[in-house]
């Protein structure tokens, strides 16, 4: 069944096209009220929003099919991430889509404030030539204080360094090594930093700690004539007191791109010509809009496929160097889960997963979720399993899950092995296309690519068995495409894995069972 994606805000056409290319049905419904969203959301598997749509706990409670919420941008303060996590819904964003645009807008506002660009432009359009009124300041050798040295703050540091600025910064989560790499003198507290800065820019998320982070006490501690910039989140600067300090001349100018309530057409800053105000343009470039649309489309598709979503906010992050090694194993684990369900017959009481080699460093929750999805989907238990709710799903179905990791995968660069109530399957990935190959099955070492249909035989090793199997299948019009036989001389047993093509019914299986003496097991597996 085709999965459905609801897009509630304007998304770049390239993003919509990418979703369609992934075989998803895309419905664009703009400017929905919360009540309208609650009414519509039960029919959708994925939701794509920007900043205006509020995905509340009530919306999530109504989202019976929803597996993933994608924010085509950076901040997700409009999404109840806690409620989504409780529901097993992945929440992801596109954090790198607009970082260049936001950094450039920061530099734009710094320059506009320093050089009185907006005021001079307005004067020119009024028919004036008032050059003497608009003498500005250089950025060269001025001190810039950067609050928040993440992706955007780091790019601002690089650009400001090119202007010859002295850089200081405050970020409790920034390592001294990163600050040194950026050329930023890192300070442990704001109080020491504020009197040093000629310019201050903030690149912080909207949290209880950052809202109102700058108020009268902080403004009073700043250097006279300081220029403030905000292209992050509205509310980090207290706007009312900022207006007071602008009026008093303590703050020389402010460049503000974001506001607590948007759209913002009136504020205490609107009366000041030295307050350069822009309507949330930080991410609003053609390039950033396209990147955000395409990135979030790829992440939505990955989440719906049960694969790795690298920017998921409510699960353990996967480092880029690990993601390439682990990502393709998610569908492989789904396949192994489905096969184990068909080999075992019952939902297992215990499931053990071991990642080896290059796959070992990953959070195994991603792989466990894929395995559970394959296992429970085959059992028609109608359970949506994501890395967010994998532990809860396992617990609900009475499955004890253990995970492990080995630095070496033996002869392979990586592998994953799953054991369900003693039945074991292992696989690796091969070739440029990362095709799945089975490397172990029920304790036997094998090496074969699984097809859509397979027969697995376990019997006493005697001559003529394969001939009997081939004759029965041939008479039924069943073609054997690939096959592998593995012997266990000590036990006198053999296992045969046989990929087949054609319609195989119960009568053929019954004939195989009747014709093969000492047949221990015969499984017909569909993947």
Rounded to the nearest 5 degrees, what angle is found at the Cα of 330, between the Cα atoms of 387 and 501?
Answer: 135
Q: Which of 54, 159, 178, 280 is catalytic?
A: 280
By C-alpha distance, which of 184, 169, 179, 159 is closest to 104?
A: 159
Q: Which of 18, 233, 437, 465 is catalytic?
A: 233
Q: Which residues are CB-neighbours of 109 under 8 A, at least 6 positions away?
A: 229, 231, 255, 256, 257, 276, 278
Would you call 262 a catalytic residue per the annotation?
A: yes
- Residue 269 is classified by DSSP as T
- How far, in Å, CA of 119 to CA of 117, rounded? 6
ω into residue 263 within 30 of 0, thus cis?
yes
**Under DSSP, is residue 312 helix (H, G, I), strand (E, B) or coil?**
strand
CB 308 within 8 A of CB 288: no
- For 419-466, the DSSP string reads EETTEEEEEEEETTTTEEEEEEETTEEEEE---SEEEEEEEE--TTHH
Would you call 260 a catalytic residue per the annotation?
A: no
CB 494 within 8 A of CB 459: yes
CB 424 within 8 A of CB 442: yes
**249 C-beta neighbours (distance < 10 Å), count:** 10
Judged on CB neighbours under 10 Å (0-12, 13-18, 19+), 217 is exposed
Judged on CB neighbours under 10 Å (0-12, 13-18, 19+), 284 is middle
CB 427 within 8 A of CB 439: yes
Q: Name the token pair of 443.
A: 């304790």
Q: Name the token pair of 46.
A: 């994925």
Rounded to the nearest 5 degrees, what angle is found at the Cα of 43, between the Cα atoms of 40 and 46?
Answer: 95
By C-alpha distance, which of 188, 189, 193 is closest to 166?
A: 193
- For 170-235, the DSSP string reads E-TT--HHHHHHHT-EEES-HHHHGGG-SEEEE-----TTTTT-B-HHHHHHSPTTEEEEE-S-TT
Would you call 67 a catalytic residue per the annotation?
A: no
- For 57-97, the DSSP string reads HHHHHH-SS--EEEESSS--TTB-HHHHHHTT-EEEE-TTS
- How far, in Å, CA of 374 to CA of 355, rounded? 17
- How far, in Å, CA of 199 to CA of 388, rounded? 42
Q: Which of 21, 192, 262, 501 is catalytic?
A: 262
Active site residues: 233, 262, 280
């Amino acid at each position: 069944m085709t999965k459905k994606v609801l897009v509630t805000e304007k998304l770049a056409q390239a993003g919509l096209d990418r979703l369609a290319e992934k075989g998803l049905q895309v419905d664009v419904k703009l400017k929905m009220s919360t009540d309208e969203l609650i009414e519509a959301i039960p029919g959708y598997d994925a939701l794509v929003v920007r900043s205006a749509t509020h995905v509340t706990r009530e919306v999530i409670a109504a989202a019976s099919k929803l597996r993933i919420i994608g924010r085509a941008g950076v901040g997700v303060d409009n999404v109840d991430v806690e409620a989504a996590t409780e529901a097993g819904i992945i929440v992801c964003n596109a954090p790198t889509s607009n970082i260049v645009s936001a950094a450039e807008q920061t530099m734009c506002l710094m320059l506009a404030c320093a050089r009185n660009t907006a005021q001079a432009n307005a004067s020119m359009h009024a028919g004036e030539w008032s050059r003497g009124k608009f003498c500005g300041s250089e950025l060269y050798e001025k001190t810039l204080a950067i609050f928040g040295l993440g992706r955007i703050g780091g790019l601002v540091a690089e650009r400001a360094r090119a202007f010859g600025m002295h850089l200081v910064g405050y970020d409790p989560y920034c390592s001294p090594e990163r600050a040194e790499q950026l050329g930023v003198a890192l300070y442990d507290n704001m109080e020491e930093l504020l009197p040093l800065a000629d310019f201050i820019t903030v690149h912080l998320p909207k949290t209880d700690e950052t809202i109102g982070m700058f108020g009268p006490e902080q403004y009073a501690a700043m250097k006279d004539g300081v220029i403030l910039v905000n292209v992050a989140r509205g509310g980090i600067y207290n706007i009312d007191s900022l207006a007071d300090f602008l009026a008093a001349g303590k703050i020389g100018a402010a460049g503000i791109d974001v506001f607590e309530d948007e759209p913002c057409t009136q504020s205490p800053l609107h009366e000041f010509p030295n307050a350069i105000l822009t309507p949330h343009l930080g991410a609003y470039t053609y390039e950033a809009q396209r990147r955000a649309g395409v990135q979030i489309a790829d992440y939505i598709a990955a989440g719906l496929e049960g694969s790795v979503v690298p920017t998921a906010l409510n699960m353990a992050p996967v480092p880029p160097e690990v993601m390439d090694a682990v990502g393709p194993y998610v569908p492989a684990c789904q396949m192994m889960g489905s096969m184990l369900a068909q080999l075992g017959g019952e939902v297992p009481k215990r499931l053990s997963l071991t990642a080896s080699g290059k796959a070992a460093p990953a959070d195994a929750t991603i792989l466990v979720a894929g395995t559970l999805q394959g296992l429970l989907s085959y059992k028609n238990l109608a359970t949506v399993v994501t890395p967010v709710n994998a532990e809860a799903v396992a617990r609900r179905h009475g499955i004890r899950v253990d995970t492990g990791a080995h630095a070496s995968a033996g002869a392979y660069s990586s592998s994953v092995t799953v054991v369900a109530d003693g039945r074991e399957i292992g696989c690796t990935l091969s070739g440029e296309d990362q095709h799945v190959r089975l490397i172990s099955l029920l304790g036997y070492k094998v090496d074969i690519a699984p097809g859509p249909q397979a027969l697995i035989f376990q019997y006493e090793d005697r001559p003529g068995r394969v001939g009997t199997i081939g004759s029965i299948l041939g008479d039924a019009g069943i073609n054997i495409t690939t096959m592998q036989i593995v012997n266990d001389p000590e036990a006198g047993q053999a296992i045969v894995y046989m990929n087949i093509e054609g319609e195989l019914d119960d009568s053929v299986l019954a004939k195989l069972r009747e014709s093969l003496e000492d047949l221990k097991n015969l499984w017909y597996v569909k993947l």
